[in-house]
């Protein structure tokens, strides 16, 4: 049997029959017997079933990475074009990813809960129907490189010190913060040769980022032994290998109810993709856009009276719905304010799309009411309610929050009298709305008599881009908006 399997230069014809391939093209002219035996078994079954790679897609223009929230398909299930594969948390919302191929989901490379998955990174494998999905070929580039012991720095000469901490590759002699542990596990880093800089010898997030930067630059990470300032070893003093009681505890003290927290203790809260993008865009806005501010008080007595009349007919609309409508009508009357800045200059938008700020557990998001000037107050109320619910549930579609020409942020329902909002680029303006309050003021009746009268006042503050909307234009806009709010009947005429 073994003799019949031996291949030689003269048996090239038999090799063709056994291997089912062209030896002259696929193998050397002469091959030792052991190599021939391995080549004989180098079949597709041994290599595995070829697969179609499913990569992390870009589900929003500003998305750089995403989190796998939930897989909607299991390994071995049949997938067709358009089927929902998984839910991915982007920098804006939780979006359902659909399949663009038919086949069988063979291998999930990124499990549920995987965070900070970069764009283009492999998340799953798909095989054709009828193939053995259990034997799917795993791409070699997806394997995580484990740091080898050979990469560890050479051992330092022994020093006769009273207290020295030794580092061994792969075995940490210090504690890791949660953020540092996540970075080390994500990038396959070995921190055993590093010195922690945090309190109580904690390896912090900053230490992990420095280690990652050194790895990306290709610099070797040198181990720095932690040496105490005690004098050199004297006769009768324990050797360097003898464990000594540490002067400071390696673990932070446990908090006790009724007592103040220890100095330097904290709880690190992981930031969602949405909050990271919000922080980035707010910083960009405040550092690159010259903000200008203008404030006005609007009397909402007429709006309150109109709401009561509509409630009698079972028509429920909020004050915020009237503010959105009045803002859209004012933008229609003053198109110079309905602009954006694209980096080169202003662009006047033809459609009046109002972005409304909605607070969610993951951060602030601004769904858009499209063509708000053409909608009635009741239609705006229905759209705002539906968009706010989808935003809190993380079900907004990209076209429902991308774009917009003007933003409104209302904190009146939280009891805030007035505040200043940050512009949402590339938009040029955002209107900050406070709560409605009752104040007594002198009013003049039709006969010219003065009397004290209650007024329902609301403070609004316009933040505008000074490159596009100057102070005079901003003042004119607020004056026109005040007039439209105090005379809501005009809103039905526009």
- Taking only the tens place, the pLDDT of each residue in 207-253 is 888 888 887 776 554 444 444 444 444 554 444 444 444 444 445 55
**Residues of the chain by 3-state class (helix, strand, coil), percent to 5:** 30, 25, 45
pLDDT at 140 > cutoff 80: no
Q: Options 3.30.559.10, 3.20.20.140, 3.40.1190.20, 3.90.70.10; which CATH number does 274-493 get?
A: 3.30.559.10
Q: What is the pLDDT of residue 274?
A: 76
Once rounded to an integer, what is the mean pLDDT over residues 443-449? 80
Pick the residue with more confidence: 347 or 153?
A: 347
The model's pTM? 0.56
Residue range(s) occupied by CATH 4.10.320.10 in the chain: 168-224
Count Cβ atoms within 10 A of the Cβ of residue 75 and give its class: 0-12 exposed, 13-18 middle, 19 or more buried.
middle
Joined together, the tokens standing for residue 433 give: 């709305």
pLDDT at 328 > cutoff 90: yes
CATH fold of the domain at 168-224: Dihydrolipoamide Transferase (4.10.320)
pLDDT at 353 > cutoff 80: yes
Residue range(s) occupied by CATH 2.40.50.100 in the chain: 52-136
| Whole-Å CA distances, 146 to 108, 186, 192 | 21, 12, 13
Q: What is the pLDDT of residue 367?
A: 94
Give CA 402 to chain center in angstroms.
Answer: 15
Share of the chain above pLDDT 90, in %: 34
Residue range(s) occupied by CATH 3.30.559.10 in the chain: 274-493
| pLDDT tier at 172, thresholds 50, 70, 90 | low
DSSP reduced 3-state for 175:
strand
Once rounded to an integer, what is the mean pLDDT over residues 197-216? 81
Highest mean pLDDT among 4-18, 321-335, 394-408: 321-335
105 contacts 76 by C-beta, under 8 angstroms: yes
Which phi and psi (to 5°) does residue 12 adopt? -65, -30
Q: Looking at the structure, give the CATH architecture of the domain made up of residues 52-136.
A: Beta Barrel (2.40)
DSSP reduced 3-state for 71:
strand
Once rounded to an integer, what is the mean pLDDT over residues 38-48? 45
| pLDDT tier at 180, thresholds 50, 70, 90 | confident
Give CA 121 to chain center in angstroms.
Answer: 16
**How large is the angle between the packed helices 471-486 and 301-312, nearest 10 degrees?**
40
**How large is the angle between the packed helices 33-40 and 12-19, nearest 10 degrees?**
30
pLDDT at 19 > cutoff 50: no
pLDDT at 290 > cutoff 60: yes
329 contacts 491 by C-beta, under 8 angstroms: yes
What does the pLDDT look like over 57-94, one tens digit per residue?
A: 887 767 788 889 889 998 989 998 888 899 888 877 78
pLDDT at 10 > cutoff 60: no
pLDDT at 480 > cutoff 90: yes
Q: What is the pLDDT of residue 449?
A: 84
Element (H, E) at 78: strand 78-79
Q: What is the pLDDT of residue 476?
A: 96
Helix ranges (H only) for 10-69 are 12-19, 23-26, 33-40, 44-47
């Amino acid at each position: 049997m073994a003799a019949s399997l031996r291949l030689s230069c003269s048996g090239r014809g038999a090799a063709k029959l056994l291997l089912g391939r062209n030896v002259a093209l696929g193998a050397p002219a002469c091959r030792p017997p052991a190599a021939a035996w391995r080549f004989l078994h180098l079949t597709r079954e041994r290599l595995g079933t070829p697969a179609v790679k499913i990569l992390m897609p870009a589900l929003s223009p500003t998305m750089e990475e995403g989190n796998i929230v939930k897989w909607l398909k299991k390994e071995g299930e049949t997938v067709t074009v358009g089927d929902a594969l998984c839910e991915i948390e982007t920098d804006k919302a939780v979006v359902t990813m659909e399949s663009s191929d038919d086949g069988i989901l063979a291998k999930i490379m990124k499990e549920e809960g995987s965070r900070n998955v970069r764009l283009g990174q492999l998340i799953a494998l798909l095989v054709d129907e009828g193939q053995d999905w259990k034997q799917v070929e795993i791409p070699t580039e997806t394997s995580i490189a484990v740091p080898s012991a050979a990469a560890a720095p050479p051992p330092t000469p022994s020093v006769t010190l009273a207290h020295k901490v030794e580092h061994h590759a792969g075995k940490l002699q210090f504690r890791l913060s949660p953020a540092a542990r996540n970075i080390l596990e994500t990038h396959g880093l070995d921190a055993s040769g590093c010195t922690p800089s945090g309190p109580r010898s904690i390896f912090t997030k900053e230490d992990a980022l420095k280690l990652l930067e050194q790895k990306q630059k290709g610099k070797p990470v040198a181990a720095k032994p932690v040496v105490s300032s005690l004098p050199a070893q004297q006769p009768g003093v324990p050797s360097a290998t003898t464990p000594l009681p540490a002067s400071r505890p390696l673990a932070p003290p446990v908090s006790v109810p009724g007592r103040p927290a220890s100095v330097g203790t904290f709880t690190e809260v992981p930031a969602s993709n949405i909050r990271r993008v919000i922080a980035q865009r707010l910083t960009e806005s405040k550092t690159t856009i010259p903000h200008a501010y203008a404030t006005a008080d609007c009397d909402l007595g007429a709006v309150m009276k109109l709401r009561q009349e509509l409630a009698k007919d079972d028509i429920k609309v909020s004050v915020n719905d009237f503010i959105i409508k009045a803002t859209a009508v004012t933008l229609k009357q003053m198109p110079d304010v309905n602009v954006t800045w694209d980096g080169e200059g202003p662009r006047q938008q033809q459609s009046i799309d109002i972005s409304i700020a909605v607070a969610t557990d993951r951060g602030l998001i601004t769904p858009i009411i499209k063509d708000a000037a053409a909608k009635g107050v009741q239609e705006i109320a229905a759209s705002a309610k539906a968009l706010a619910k989808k935003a809190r549930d993380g079900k907004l579609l990209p076209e429902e929050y991308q774009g917009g020409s003007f933003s409104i942020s209302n904190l009146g329902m939280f009891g805030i009298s007035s505040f200043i909002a940050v512009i949402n680029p590339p938009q040029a303006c955002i209107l900050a709305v406070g709560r409605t309050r009752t104040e007594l003021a002198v009013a003049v009746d039709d006969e010219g008599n003065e009397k004290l009268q209650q007024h329902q006042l609301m403070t609004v503050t316009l933040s505008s881009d000074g490159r596009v909307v100057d102070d005079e234009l901003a003042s004119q806009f607020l004056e026109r908006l005040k007039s439209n709010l105090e005379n809501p009947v005009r809103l039905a005429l526009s």
